[in-house]
Structure 1
C-alpha cells in the first residue's frame, strides 16, 4: 500500500516546516511568524492531504513534470526574452499596439518559472529537488530581474502584468525557493515589487484598485511583507482588504441583490468574481491565527455572498457565461497551442475549490452547507467532471477530492426558484431538471465587454440572451466551441438588427451602455416577470421584451420592434449547438424535418416545434418561423486576437422570427419548454386555455396562467391590463396559492418612482405582510396598494402577502 506523501515530506524539499491549515487558534509564536507564514503559503499553493501515487494526482503530477521538463529544456536567456516564444522587449512602448502582448509575455515568463518551482517542490514529478532545475530557476529569476523587472524600468503595456500577474508569480517562486535564494538577490526582487506595486497602489479604492483587482494587489503586498519580514506591509495588505467587503451601490464590487460588477459596467461573478473569491480564501487562510488575521466584521458579507451571489450562477459545475465577460472568448491559444481550451465548466471548477477553501474561515454551519453544495455540483457535472479537469490547480483538486471522499457530506440538489439581479441586469431561474439565465443591458450595464483584443463579437450578448441547460443533458451547449462558431447575430433569445458591426464595436472595457432604464422585473422567489427595454448596439433598433419564468416554461414576448437601419431584424427563438455531428431530430407540428446539413425552411403557421434531446417550443396561435440546420466554421482567433487559428466546425439548429427590413411595431410570442418531450410540447400547444396573453404591445406586456394562479405584467407605461391597473411604469407578478393567500410582487425597474399605485380587481380580505415601502393598502372587493418612494430600492422586488376574500 502506498504511503501518502506527507506535507512535511515534500515541503522539506523546498525548505521550511510544514504547517496545518487549522484556523481556530493562534498557530504560532511572534518570533516565528514570517517563517510560519511562508510555510503556510507553500501549503496553500502546493496543496495538501493527497496521495501522489493515487489518481487523479499521479497523472496531474506527471503532466506537471512533462511541462516543467519542456520549459526547462526550451529556456534560453537572451536580451528581451527568457524563452524564445515569449519576447517581452517592447520596441516602442509609447505607441506600439502590441505592448499588451509584450508585457503579457513577461508575465507568462514568471508563470513558467512558478511552474518550474512547483515541479522542484512537489513529489511524483521526476524533478523533485533536482539541482539542475534549482539552478535554472535561479538563473531565470536573475535574468528577468536584470533584463526587465527591476526598479529602474518604466512599465509598458498592460498594468496588470506589472502589478498583479508577474509579481504574484515571482513571489510564489520566492516562497518556494526561499532557502535557495541569496539574500541580496531576494532583496532585489522585493525592491522590484516595491517599485511596481508601491503602498500607494491601495491608497485609494478606485481605478484599477477595486474588487478582484484590489484582492490581487493585497496578495502581492502580503507576500512581499512575509518574504521581507515587514509587519507594516502585511498589515497594509490586511487593512486594504476592508473596502472590498461592504456592499456598493455603484461601480465595482458586491451589491445587496447579489450582483458583482468589475470594470464599472460588467457583470463578472464568473471571472473577476472567481478571482476575488479565491484570493480572499487564500488570504483569510494565510493570515488566520497570526498577528494580522482578517477580523473585519464586514467579511461576513463575503461569506453571505457564497450562496447569495455565486451559487445562483453555478449549475452542475459550470459557471454561467452571462457573468464571465470577455472570458467567454478565451479558448485555444495561438501562443500556447498545448494550453487547454477554457469553457464554462473549467471556469466553474475553481469557484468550487475556492468555496471549499473559504469555508475553513467561515462558521461550521456555513462550511457544512457549502461542502454539500460543492459535492452536489461535482456529482452532477457529467460533461466535465471536476476531478478530471486538466487545468484545475493541484490545491483545488485536493480540496475537491476531499469533499468527494468525505462520507459525512451529503450532496444537495439544485434549488428550484428564481433570482433577479437588477444591479447587473441578470436573472437566473431553476425549474425541475433545468436551469436558465438571462442577460440584458441598460444605462448602467454594458451590452458586452471587449478589450485586449478579446470578445470581439460579443456585441449582442446583452440583447436578451436566454441561456438554458438541462439537469443531465445539454450541459456542453456553450462549452463545445459555441462562441467561435455560433452566428453572433443569432444568439438565443435576442432581438437583433442584422446591421454589420465591426470587431469590438462600441469600445473597450464595457464602454457601450444603451440609453435604457426599464430593465428588471419582479419575483416571488419562485416565478418572475422580467422585462428589457432594448436599444440596439450602434443601431436604431428598439423593442420591448418580456420573459415570464414559470415552473416548466418560459413565456417570451416581444413588441414595439422598430428599426430603420435598412437591414433585417430577427428574434432568435433558439440556436442549439448540436456538436460536430448534429444528430438531434427536429419535429414541427408532428412532422419530422430533414436531418441533413445544410437545410432551411419557412414554417408558416407553426404551432409547436421540438428538438430531440433538448426541449420544446410553442407558438400561441401559430407563427411564421424560419428554421435552419447549418454547419458553421469558426476559430478562436476570429473572436480573440490571441486565439488559435485552427478551424472548428459545429452543427446548429436555429429557429428565428424574421421581422423583415426596417420593421415598425413588430412582435413575437413563444414558449420555451426546457427538457420537454415532443408529446408534452404537443399537449401544451393544444391546450388553448393554459396561457392567456393579456397584452403584448409597446405599452404593456402581460400573461396569465390560471392553473398556476400566475399573473405577470410589465407596465412600460401606466395603464390597465386584465385585472391590474398601475399608475406608472412598473413590473408586477401575482402568485395565488391554494391556501387562500397570494403574493403580489412589485418593482420599479427604472428606479424613478417616488410613488406608485397598483390596483388589483380581486377580493382581498387582509394584507398580512408588507415591506416598509408600502404606504397604504385598501382591501375589500378590490385591492389598492400605495407605495411610497421606491428610488432607494434599486429595482428590488417589493413583496406584499394578502389573504384573499
Structure 2
C-alpha cells in the first residue's frame, strides 16, 4: 500500500507542478520545431527497455548501474543517464507506445531529469560538457517543454550555454548544432540562423578539415577519419538537411550533392559485409565497434533514399557490398582500396603530408604503426573481427618495422608524419598500384603494392636500418580458421605452432594464398595468443583473453642493408591454384631500387614505380622525365595510360613511347610519341590522369 500511495502522490505532484499551457513559437520557428520533434520520435520504442529503465530508477532519480563518479575520458558512462532519459521521453510522446502520455512515466522523467540538472555532471573530457551533454539534453528539453517547469528549463539552458560555435570540421558541426537547439528553445531566430549557417558552412569540399577532394574525411589535421568523425559528420549532415528543410534556414539543395558524393564515392568504399574497414576507422578500434559503424552507415543510406529520392536506387544499391567493384586511390589521405564481390583489400599509408594515426582519451594505445603501410584482406565477416587484443602490433600486415624491445610509443591527437613525400597511388578504376617510400625511426624501405587481375603483388627493397634488432615485414594476422598448408621445398604439409622457413613456395590458409616468388626467411605462428582489451583502449578492464591466431611475416635480420622481399596475396585461393601459380606466375616482376615493375606475362598490362627518371622496355619502350607511377594496358586501338605524381609537386611530366601513337597531347619526334602531360594541381595534386593513345596506321 505504501508503494501505491507514493506513486499516486508522485503522479498528482507531477500533474500539479508541471501541467501548463502549451508554449507558442514564432511563425519562423514552428516548422523547425515540428521537424525536430518528428526526427526525435522517428525511432521505435522498446517496451521492454522502458520497463527496465523505470524499474531500475531509484528514489533519487539515478540508475544504480551507472558510475556517476567516473572520470573516464572516452565513452564516459555518465552520459548513459541522458541516453536513458532520451528513450523515456520518446516513449512518453510517441503515439502507439505502451507508455504514451503515462503519468507514471512522466513522474519518472521528472525525477531523472532533476537528478541530472541538480548535479550538472561534468566529464574530464571537454567534449562532453560542450558537445555530448547538450547534444542529448537539448532535444529532451525541446520536445518535453510543455511538461517542464520554468526552473527545469532555465537550469537546462544554463547547461546548454556551455556549447559555443567554434573550432572546425565535425567538432564545429556538433557545437553549432547544440547552439541551434538552444536557440530554438529560447526562441532566438537570429541565433538559429547563425547556427544553421555555421553547420552549412562545414558542408563543403576542401583540403581543410572535413570532406576532402577525393571524398575521404579529415579531422585533427590531415588524418583519415572516415569511420570516426566522418561517420558522425555524415549522420549529422543528413539530420540537419532533413530538419531544416521547408524552414527559413534550409540548406541550399546543391549541398545535398556534396553529401551524395561523400556517401557513394567515399564512405561506401570502406564497407564490407557486416563491418567497416579498420584502416578507415580512426582511433575507434573498440569491441564490436566496426559492426556498429556499418549499421549506422546503412541507416544513413536508407535516410538518403528519402532525402535525395532522385538517387534512391544508388543508395539502395550501396547497401549491398557486392554492388561495388573497382580500384580507388584517396590521394589526399594516402589510402588505397581494391575490391570485388569476393574480397576487399585496403592499404593505409602516411607521408610528410598525411598523419598516420592518433591516440586520444587512452584509445588506440597500440596504433603507432597503423600508417606504415598496413594492408588488410577481407573475404568473410570475421578475419579481423575484434582481433586487436591479439595482434602483434609491431608486425601489422604490410608494415616493415624494427622489432625492438621498447614499448610501442604513444603519440597524441595529431600522431606522426613520416620523412618522405614519395607516397601515393595510381588507378585506372579496375587495377592500381600504390607506393610508400618509408623513412621513419632510422628505417628506410621502398614499398609498393600492385593490385592487378585480382591478385596483390607486394614488393619491398632498399630495406636498411642500423639496428641490433630484427627487422620484419608483416604479411597477415588473422584468426586461425582451418588447416594451414605450406609448400616448403616441394614438401606440402599442414602446420601448427611456430615454425621458421627458408625460401618457401607458398602458404594457404582460410582461402587466402601467399606466394613467395623470391623465397625469403619466413616465420609462421599458428597458436593460441593471449591479449587484453585494456592495452588497446583503457576504457576496458585489464583481463587476459585468448584466441587462436595465424600470423605470418618475413625476417630481414639485424642491420639489414638493401634487403628486399616479394610476396603475392591470392584471394579465394585453392591448393591446386597455388600449385599451378608456383609453376607459372601470371606476372613478370622486377624489384629494383630505381624501378619496381609488375607486368602480365603476355605484356598486355603493367604497373611501374619510377623512383627516378628512366626507361623500361615494356610496350616497345617507355621513358619518363620524372619519378612517377605508371599503369599501362593494351587495348585494341592502342594503350590506356594512367599516371600520377606521388610527391604532389610536379606540374608536368614528359612521357615518351618508342612507338607512334596519336593523342591530342602527343608529338611524334624521331619515331617516338612524346607527351607533356599536365598533372593535377592544388586540391587535386596526386590524382591520377588517364588517357588513351591510339595506334597510328600507315
TM-score, normalization: structure 1? 0.78
User: Which residue of structure 2 aligns with residue 478 of structure 1?
Assistant: 384
1:733 corresponds to 2:652: no
Matching residue within 487, 493, 518 for 1:588: 487
**SS of equivalent residue, structure 1 residue 566:** coil
**After the TM superposition, which residues 120-519 of structure 1 pair with which residues of structure 2 at under 5 Å, given as runs?**
120-121=92-93, 129-148=101-120, 157-194=124-161, 196-198=162-164, 201-202=165-166, 209-249=167-207, 251-295=208-252, 297-328=254-285, 330-331=286-287, 342-362=288-308, 364-374=309-319, 376-377=320-321, 413-431=322-340, 433-470=342-379, 474-479=380-385, 481-502=386-407, 505-519=409-423
Tell me the equivalent position of 1:20: none
- Which residue, 48, 57, 63 being the options, matches 1:72? 57
- On the 8 A contact 1:285/1:360 being kept in 2, the answer is no
Distance in 1 between residues matched to 2:108 and 2:628, nearest whole Å: 65
Which sections of structure 1, spanning at least 5 residues, go unmatched?
1-12, 17-28, 53-60, 90-97, 150-154, 203-208, 332-341, 378-412, 769-773
User: 1:717 Cα deviation (Å)?
Assistant: 2.0
2:401 & 2:56 partners in 1: Cα distance?
47
Asked if the contact 1:284–1:358 (Cα under 8 Å) also holds between the matched residues in 2, the reply is no
CA drift of 1:451 comes to 0.9
Are the counterparts in 2 of residues 430 and 436 from structure 1 also a CA contact under 8 Å?
Answer: yes
Deviations 1:60-93 (A, max 9, x none): x25523552465248666xxxx75743358xxxx
Query: What is the root-mean-square deviation of aligned Cα atoms in Å?
Result: 2.9
Aligned counterparts of 1:754 and 1:552: Cα–Cα separation in 2: 32
Distance 1:562 1:66, change over 3 A: farther
Following superposition, the deviation at residue 30 of structure 1 comes to 8.8
Distance in structure 1 (CA, Å) of the matches to 2:539 and 2:434: 37
Q: Which residue of 2 aligns with 1:797?
A: 688
1:640, distance to aligned residue in structure 2 (A): 0.6
Q: C-alpha distance in 2, partners of 1:545/1:754?
A: 25
Contact 2:61 2:113 in 1 (8 A): no
Partner of 1:634: 531
CA contact (8 A) 2:72 2:539 kept: no
Cα displacement (A) at 1:687: 0.6
Give 2:12's aligned residue: none
- SS of the residue corresponding to residue 100 of structure 1 reads coil
For the 8 Å contact 2:525–2:551, the answer to whether it is kept is yes
1:606 aligns with 2:504: yes
Q: Indicate conservation of the 8 Å contact 1:83/1:109, yes or no.
A: no
Larger mean Cα displacement after TM superposition, 105-114 or 641-650: 105-114
Q: Which residue matches 1:23? A: none
Mean CA deviation greater in 511-520 or 209-218: 209-218
Q: How far, CA to CA, are the matches of 1:748 and 1:185 in structure 2?
A: 60
TM superposition shift of 1:137: 2.5
User: How far apart are residue 535 of structure 1 and its match?
Assistant: 2.5
Question: 1:176/1:525 Cα in 2 relative to 1: closer, same or farther (>3 Å)?
Answer: same
Instruction: Answer yes or no: is the 8 Å Cα contact 1:74–1:83 preserved in 2.
Output: no
Which stretch shows the higher mean deviation, 130-139 or 345-354?
130-139
TM-score by length of 2: 0.89
DSSP 3-state at the match of 2:500: strand
Paired positions, count:
672
List aligned pairs for 1:75-114, cutoff 5 A: 85-88=66-69, 98=71, 100=73, 104-114=76-86
Equivalent residue for 1:703? 598
Point out where structure 2 has 5 or more consecutive residues left out of the alignment: 1-14
C-alpha deviations, 1:744-783, integer Å up to 9, x for none?
111111012233222233x243126xxxxx6x54478433
Residue 238 of structure 1 aligns to a residue whose secondary structure is helix
- Distance in 1 (CA, whole Å) between partners of 2:47 and 2:511 is 39
Q: Which residue of 2 aligns with 1:544?
A: 446
For 1:322 and 1:467, how far apart are their aligned partners in 2? 8
Q: Distance in 1 between matches of 2:594 and 2:243?
A: 56
Residue 681 of structure 1 is aligned with which of 552, 575, 578?
578
Structure 1 match to 2:9:
none
Decide whether the 8 Å contact of 2:531 with 2:546 is kept in 1. Answer: yes
Q: Is the 8 A contact 1:62 1:124 kept in 2?
A: no
**3-state SS of the aligned residue for 2:215?**
coil
Show CA shifts across 1:117-168 (max 9, x none).
334445887655443442233233233323326xxxxx77322101110001
